[in-house]
Amino acid sequence: MLLIAGERHIARLIEVNLQRAGIRVTVCYSFAEARPHLTPHGFDLIILQEPVRTEPYESANGFLTEVYATPGLERVPVIRR
Q: What is the pTM (predicted TM-score) of this model?
A: 0.84
Q: In terms of DSSP bridges, do strands 78-80 and 46-49 run parallel, antiparallel, or are they unpaired?
A: parallel
Write the DSSP string, 29-66: SBHHHHGGG--TTS-S-EEEESS-B--TT--HHHHHHH
pLDDT digits (tens, 9 = 90+) for 43-78: 889 998 876 666 655 678 888 888 888 888 888 899
76 Cβ contact partners less than 8 Å away, ≥ 6 residues apart: 43, 44, 45, 46, 67
Task: Please give the share of the chain, as a percent, with pLDDT higher than 70.
Answer: 90
